[in-house]
Amino acid sequence: MSTAETAVPASSHLTASWHSIDWETSHRQVRGLQVRIAKAAKSQQWRRVKALQRMLVRSFAAKALAVKRVTENRGRRTPGVDGETWSTPEGKWGAIFRLKRTGYQPRPLRRVYIPKANGQRRPLGIPTMLDRAMQALYLLALEPVSETTADRNSYGFRPYRSTADAIEQLFVNLGRKHSAQWVMEGDIKGCFDNINHDWLITNIPLDKVVLRKWLKAGYMESGLLNPTEAGTPQGGIISPVLANMALDGLEKVLESQFGQRNTKASYKTKVNYVRYADDFVITGISKELLENEVKPLVEAFMAERGLSLAVEKTLFTHVSDGFDFLGQNVRKYGDKLLIKPAHKNLKAFLVKVKAMIEGNKTLPASLLIDKLNPVIRGWANYHRPVVAKQTFNYVDYRIWKLLWQWCRRRHLNRSKRWIKEKYFKRVGTRSWVFSGLHPSGKLKTLLYASDVPIKRHTKIRAEANPFDPADEMYFEERLEYTWRNSDEGKRKTLKLWIIQKKRCPRCKQLITFDTGWNIHHIIERHKGGGDELENLELLHPNCHRQLHSR
């Protein structure tokens, strides 16, 4: 511990500005402490966990990474109640030295509302930049614990896990001939808003004083301060992890009662559990088992945390009738389980596309294509691991009809043949491809959902921990798998990424979709440098800015 204590502050004495920070050393120091925290949590040495967390949140390296995170994410330009943003290197450098526990008092959240799919509005709290950075700092110390103690089949708001993993686990639980035939679809009523503060303060292994201040900070709405007596601050960086930790443990409760998977007890009941955020599915051998034995256990578990199940959304369904989960429909046809895009999800997507087309009646075709392609690609990529080919064909047909109406409306006095020749070209073997000439002179073509190949997802190993050195290679292989199966995998970017061994050459940290990247020209283009691989580097955005500042 003495080595880390002397090493961490040293980096602050060797730097004098934001762009002179040694990010490679900072990442290495923080990672080292996180690995030790995870190891202590695994062996349940909670006093050691507390000591290592205290060392981490006091370190210069962790404070610098916390400021870096909140000044590079999507909300970096959105201020809190104080109207402050850290957009300059000087502002970021000064912010590092403001991250102190002594005298820290969080400001109330700025309350805004965002629309939900059902037409209602979800409240969202926006913390100040200082509060966001403090939460990011303490999250560095809490996440190794949360990942070590998490339920194996919890997939929401966790690094390297996704909805595709949750859906694949459902297939494992329900896909065999003799798998469970009944499911309990669970939904927690106002999960983020109702978690008991006393339970969080007692059970979350984090600085109790700071945690209590965050939970009790309140929010500002219409100029009035409103207190918060329950729940976690929605919009806070640390909130998803707090909510996950509050819900972790249910899988162990069910296993203690019905046995672990692949044991004699579990074969009799077939009780298995999958959760994504506050939505979960529990399988069982009969409806009576789920209603009379499983549901009371779940309700007792939730009540201890101040939560309850939403009655209207907690359903008991036979797999032959099918159910929706995370935008997919899971249903058994005879002995064969098929997972397809859910009708509600499909309808919402088509409504969104229709609004985009009808809302841009005067836009040039090429610019409309620029708006539509990312939306179509994102939706198709989300559903590509399931049985979606037929749905993709239907989506293409519906979008074609909308675009044909868009074209006809623009040219009321022109013939159908003229419209077809102007907007619909033949590309390869496909005719009637919606196209438009971009101002740059390049012909833009619409992406067809059916051109996205179906690619089955390989589920993450349930016990894998990103803070366990033994799983380091596994997660790097998973990252490479993700890249190879993404759109980036077909481009020059993937070649660069592999050449650089998946890391930024400046800070030596992994380049992921979360960190983002910039392509840097070693010899600048205005000095004659080209776009050949030998002259390109993939850098983290901050490392790229740092390089140019020098």
Weakest mean pLDDT among 31-45, 179-193, 334-348, 385-399: 179-193
334 within some domain = yes
Beta strands in 181-309 (DSSP E): 182-187, 219-221, 224-226, 272-276, 279-284
Top-confidence residue, 265 or 191: 191
pLDDT at site 320: 95
12 in any annotated domain: no
Q: What is the pLDDT of residues 178-209, one digit of tens each?
A: 899 999 999 898 888 889 999 999 999 999 99
Least confident of 115-124, 516-525, 540-549: 115-124
460 found inside a domain: no
133 and 172 inside one domain? no
What pLDDT digit, counting tens, does each position of 332-349 carry?
Answer: 999 899 999 999 999 999
395 shares a domain with 334: no
Co-location of 126 and 184 in the same domain: no
Residue 83 domain-assigned? yes
One domain, residues 145 and 155: no
Task: Place 264 in a pLDDT band, splitting at 50, 70 and 90.
Answer: low
Tokens 């064909």, residue located: 393
Say if strands 109-115 and 219-221 run parallel, antiparallel, or are unpaired. parallel
Confidence band of 265 (pLDDT split at 50, 70, 90): low
- The verdict on 123 and 77 lying in the same domain is yes
**pLDDT tens digits for 52-85?**
999 999 999 999 999 999 998 888 888 888 999 9
Would the pLDDT of 500 be above 80? yes
Quick one: pLDDT band at residue 223, thresholds 50, 70, 90? Answer: confident
pLDDT greater than 60 at residue 471 = yes
Closest by CA position to 182, among listed 288, 89, 25, 86 = 288
> Any idea which of 26-30, 77-81, 119-123 has the lowest mean pLDDT?
119-123
Could you tell me the residue range of the domain that residue 349 belongs to?
A: 343-451
Residue 24's pLDDT is what? 87
Domain boundary among 301, 320, 339: 339
> Same domain for 114 and 163?
no
Each residue's pLDDT tens digit, 268-316: 789 999 999 999 999 999 999 999 999 999 999 999 999 999 888 899 9
pLDDT for 14 equals 56
Residues 411 and 526 in one domain: no
325 and 234 part of one domain: yes
Spatial strand order of the sheet with 430-437 comes to 424-427, 430-437, 443-445
* pLDDT (0 to 100) of residue 122: 77
Q: Which of 279, 308, 339 is the last residue of a domain?
A: 339
DSSP β-bridge partners for residue 538: 519
Q: What integer is the mean pLDDT of 453-462?
A: 92
Are 383 and 294 within one domain? no
Quick one: 158 and 120 in the same domain? no
Q: 49 and 123 share a domain?
A: yes
Amino acid at 158: R
pLDDT exceeds 70 at position 489: no
What's the CA gap between 184 and 290, in Å, rounded?
7
Number of domains within the chain = 4
Rounded CA separation 226/282 (Å): 37
User: Mean pLDDT of all residues in the chain?
Assistant: 89
**CATH number of the domain that 157 lies in?**
3.30.70.270
Mean pLDDT over residues 36-55, rounded? 97
Q: Is 163 left (phi over 0), alpha (psi -120 to 50) or beta?
A: alpha
In a domain, 4, yes or no: no
Q: Global pTM?
A: 0.87
Q: Tens of pLDDT along 7-16?
A: 344 444 456 8
Q: SS3 for 470?
A: helix
End-to-end CA distance of the chain: 34
Q: Which of 296, 317, 339 marks a domain boundary?
A: 339
